[in-house]
Amino acid sequence: MDFMFTQEQEAIARVARRVLGDHCSPRDVRAAFEGELPGAGARWDAIAAAGIAGLCIPEVYGGQGLGPVEMVLVLEEAGRVCLPDPLLETAWLVPALLLEAGTDEQQRRWLPRIATGEVVASLRAPGSELVVAMDRCGLVLWTDDHGWSLAEVPSLPSVSRRSLDRGLGLGRITDRELDREPISGEVGDPTLIARIATGSAALLNGLSDWLMAVTTRHVRTREQFGRPIGSFQAVKHMLAEVATDLHAARVATWFAAEALSRVASEAHEAADIARWTAASAALLASDAALQLHGGIGFTWEHDLHLWMKRVSALVHLYGGHEQSLSRIESRVCDDLVDAAQKQEAR
């Protein structure tokens, strides 16, 4: 049993941190938030060139052939810089769906283009109505009564500029707008849901880590009553509680990714636990950050709100953390009890 990352995994996280840090500054996040797309193309090219877009795509299709553990390390870095691009969807969710259920032809057509960065992909997940990156995705997958379908998207008009996190390019699609092409294979919804939960958790952990870092720096330097406010226990304990929750959330996310990578029986529950703990930690981090920055953090001008709004979006997107907790609840209160009753009956 080894809960440590390999040198290769650590190197992948380092590269992701450097590339994302170089190409996604707070200024870029703000530009995306204001609805400016020009920088997005160059940024995505750099991400693809570093092998990040094709991280989970097999080498025969031009990807790196890596798995969930590497993916969550990279997604945490994407969360840290508040990356506006749909990395979770393009690099993990869509390729995994195509690999599981797509035809050879569909895989050959789309996977290489995703790996090179030519195509950004998105999806409408079960239990969700929204699609991210509506303004820039070239491929979208969705599920309805007819099962899973995919469509090439030349351009989609229906992006809502009035969403909470305008950088994400959130919108709704209606089936009428698209030329449906069915995906015939069997899609394991629980596994997709587990990937969404684990990936969202990793993104949230990155966001929380940035919020913690910025807030810790602020309370170390901001003085009131003649001393740094970070020397007051009320402030210390607030941040210590966030640090505790965040540590637990990161460890839970790594655990879930490892379980997913070897299709372990507890992967689905671990993913839900990761998502719930990461969402709780992020909400707490967001609250502490705003509270401890005081007035300046409440301004449009400060970057804090960009990260806080991303937290809100990721907490509620794709069915939200509430659905994760509901599943945990029925496992604990129904499944385990059923098992106990069966055992008693025997």
Partner 1 sequence: LDLRERPDQRRFRADLRAWLGEHVPRSPLPPLSTVDGVRAHVAWERRLTAAGYTGVHWPLEYGGQGKDAVTSAIFEEEYARAGAPERANVVGLRLVGPALMAYGTDPQRHRHLPAILGCDELWSQGFSEPEAGSDLAAVRTRASRDGDHLVVTGEKIWTTLGVHADWILALVRTGSGERRHDGLTLLLVDMRTEGVERRPIVQVNADAGFAQITFNEVRVPEDQVVGSVGQGWTVAMHVLTVERGAGTVSHAWLEQDLRATIALARERGRLEEPLVRRELALLRVQVQRYRFSNLRALCLTDHGIDPGPEASINKLLWSETRKRIYRLGAELRGEDGLLDAQGPEDSEWQRQYWYSRAATIYGGSSQIQKNIIAERLLGLPR
Q: How far apart are CA 43 and CA 218, in angstroms?
A: 29
Using the rule CB under 8 A, is 18 a contact of partner 1?
A: no
Site for partner 1 in 313-342 (CB under 8 A): 325-326, 328-329, 331-333, 336-337, 340
CB-wise, 218 or 309, nearer to partner 1? 218
Single out the segment in contact with partner 1 by CB under 8 A; choices: 15-23, 186-194, 271-279, 295-303.
Answer: 271-279
DSSP 8-state symbol, 34: T
Helices 189-221 and 233-261 sit at what angle, rounded to 10 degrees?
150
Compute the least distance from the CB of residue 239 to partner 1, in Å. Answer: 6
Site for partner 1 in 171-190 (CB under 8 A): none
For residue 223, the SS3 value is strand
Q: How far apart are CA 72 and CA 81, in angstroms?
A: 14
Instruction: Count the Cβ atoms, other than its own, within 10 Å of residue 221.
Output: 9
**Pairing label, strands 139-144, 121-124:** parallel
Single out the segment in contact with partner 1 by CB under 8 A; choices: 113-121, 139-147, 228-236, 307-315.
Answer: 228-236
Using the rule CB under 8 A, is 13 a contact of partner 1?
A: no
Which residue's entry shows tokens 């969710």?
93
Using the rule CB under 8 A, is 220 a contact of partner 1?
A: yes
Site for partner 1 in 275-314 (CB under 8 A): 276-277
CB-wise, 70 or 89, nearer to partner 1? 70
Residue from the set 93, 173, 202, 270 that interacts with partner 1 by CB under 8 A: 270
Q: How far apart are CA 48 and CA 112, in angstroms?
A: 11
Using the rule CB under 8 A, is 239 a contact of partner 1?
A: yes
Using the rule CB under 8 A, is 254 a contact of partner 1?
A: yes
Site for partner 1 in 190-219 (CB under 8 A): 212, 216, 219
Q: Which residues contact 205 (CB under 8 A, 6 or more apart)?
A: 76, 79, 246, 249, 250, 253, 278, 281, 282
- CA-nearest of 77, 86, 71 to 195 is 71
Using the rule CB under 8 A, is 345 a contact of partner 1?
A: no
Binding pattern for the stretch 60-99 against partner 1, x by CB under 8 A and - elsewhere: ---------x------------------------------
CB-wise, 68 or 171, nearer to partner 1? 68
Instruction: Count the Cβ atoms, other than its own, within 10 Å of residue 319.
Output: 19
Residue type, 321: H
* Cβ atoms 170, 134 nearer than 8 A: yes
Compute the least distance from the CB of residue 283 to partner 1, in Å. Answer: 14
Question: Total residues contacting partner 1 (rule CB under 8 A)?
Answer: 52
Residue from the set 62, 243, 287, 320 that interacts with partner 1 by CB under 8 A: 243
Using the rule CB under 8 A, is 135 a contact of partner 1?
A: no
CB-wise, 73 or 114, nearer to partner 1? 73
| Phi, psi for residue 127 in degrees, rounded to 5 | 80, 10
Q: For the stretch 203-219, what's the b/e string if a residue is b when 16 or more beta carbons lie within 10 angstroms of its beta carbon?
A: bbbbbbbbbbebbbebb
Q: Partners of 159 in the beta sheet? A: 171
Residue 334, CA distances (Å) to 194, 264, 287, 323 in order = 20, 21, 34, 16
Using the rule CB under 8 A, is 14 a contact of partner 1?
A: no
Residues that bind partner 1 (CB under 8 A): 1-6, 9, 69, 212, 216, 219-220, 227-228, 230-231, 233, 235-237, 239-241, 243-244, 247-249, 251-252, 254-255, 257-259, 262, 264, 269-270, 273, 276-277, 325-326, 328-329, 331-333, 336-337, 340
